[in-house]
Structure 1
Amino acid sequence: MARMGAELRRQDFVEATVRVIAEHGVANATTRRIAAAANCPLASLHYVFHTKDDLFYAVYESLFNLPHQALEQVPAGITAAETAAEMLRQLIKWFTLHPDEAKAQSELFFWTMRNNPGMATKIYSVATEVTERVMDRAIGAQLDKPSLKATSRLLIHLVDGLIIAWSAHGDVGRLETETETACKALALFVASH
């Protein structure tokens, strides 16, 4: 049998963890269940991730990076307000195409806030930094640093709120309508700077 590299195995475990959390919740995301979902031995999971917190943080890293790939779809040459609104639109679109990731992100963050507040603070800080970098590349020349920081944080809050609401009501049409309302609000905020 061919040996699988640790990095590939790591990604299998991250993807399996997302599926397990989306289906069973964080409390029932046991390492045994995750290993089974990844079709890997439990010992391999413990070899790649020494603690469950390490595994959960790897899931977060994946969830920071994947949605931001959707921002590559944002057209160049539009105003800062239009760009910020389109970034929000693309992030929500990405999550609607990846509902397990949306559900896992929300569930995992709330679980982490209750069980490991230090890690929750770190996760929020990393999410803010990643979003600020992406926004800086897209519209940084059009906004001063405090406005860019405020816009990045507002974008995160809007995405999180929309995803949590969608998790509750499950209606994609409603999510799209609410996203457009949020895009208008974000564009007005950016235009005011």
Structure 2
Amino acid sequence: MARLGAELRRQDFVEATVKVVAEHGVAKATTRRIAAAAGSPLASLHYLFHTKEDLFYAVFELLYSVPQQALEHSPASATLADSATGILRHLINWFIAHPEVAAAQPELFNWALRNDPELANKVYVQAIDGIESIFRELPEDQLDDHLVMAVSRLLVQLVDGLVVAWCVHRDNDRLQAETEYACQALSLLASPRTTS
């Protein structure tokens, strides 16, 4: 039972971190402020997360699980193009439903770039690897490794760009339209080539 309590408390701290970073930015996301937002003692935060960096990394871990959820909405016989566009739409809709995460993600990534480039690289590589692993489970007979890598990278870059733009304009209709344009580009890249 104590383990369940610790896991729930850990999740509370991750959610509080997202909220504080979205509202105040990384520079003002102190552990004291995060603990207060979680309604917990500061000592509890430091017991579960030894450093603020560990806490920030836990937010990135939350983001890694989102593409996997897109598989629940993909048909078993999906092509690379269908899968890629389905995941892109799912991710964008997830960010619309979680605007605080949308605001916190670029803040945290830029912080990592400045303060811990190895962490930034790790986060970026894991995001791409996570997408690639989804594509590698597709039932297609032959998936070209270079194409899977290119589609995975483009998908991550499109999500990042669309989310940052949406954080600026906050127009959901515009975001949906831009997402469909991005899906068209992604689909063109991911569709099988025919030679004549």
TM-score by length of 1: 0.92
Note the alpha carbon deviations across 1:74-132, whole angstroms, 9 max, x for none.
23324322222122111111111111111111111011111111111111111111111
Bigger shift: residues 17-26 or 69-78: 69-78
Kept after mapping to 2: 8 A contact 1:26/1:108 = yes
Tell me the residue number matched to 1:70.
70
Tell me the residue number matched to 2:119.
119
Q: CA deviation at 1:69?
A: 1.5
Amino acid in structure 2 at the alignment position of 1:98? H
Kept after mapping to 2: 8 A contact 1:83/1:139 = no
Tell me the residue number matched to 2:21.
21
Distance 1:75 1:95 in 2: 22
Name the % identity.
Answer: 58
Kept after mapping to 1: 8 A contact 2:66/2:91 = no
Distance of aligned partners of 1:65 and 1:78 in 2 relative to their CA distance in 1, 3 Å threshold: closer
Distance 2:59 2:3 in 1: 23
Tell me the residue number matched to 2:44.
44
Q: CA deviation at 1:51?
A: 0.5
Amino acid in structure 2 at the alignment position of 1:5? G
* Long gaps (5+) in structure 2: none
Distance 2:131 2:23 in 1: 28
Distance 1:142 1:3 in 2: 44
Note the alpha carbon deviations across 1:116-158, whole angstroms, 9 max, x for none.
1111111111111111112222466452122111111111011
Distance 1:186 1:3 in 2: 42
Amino acid in structure 2 at the alignment position of 1:147? L
Q: SS of the residue aligned with 1:92?
A: helix
TM-score by length of 2: 0.90
Bigger shift: residues 3-12 or 174-183: 3-12
Tell me the residue number matched to 2:99.
99
Map 1:181-192 to 2 at 5 A: 181-192=181-192
Amino acid in structure 2 at the alignment position of 1:35? A
Distance of aligned partners of 1:113 and 1:165 in 2 relative to their CA distance in 1, 3 Å threshold: same
Distance 1:3 1:147 in 2: 42
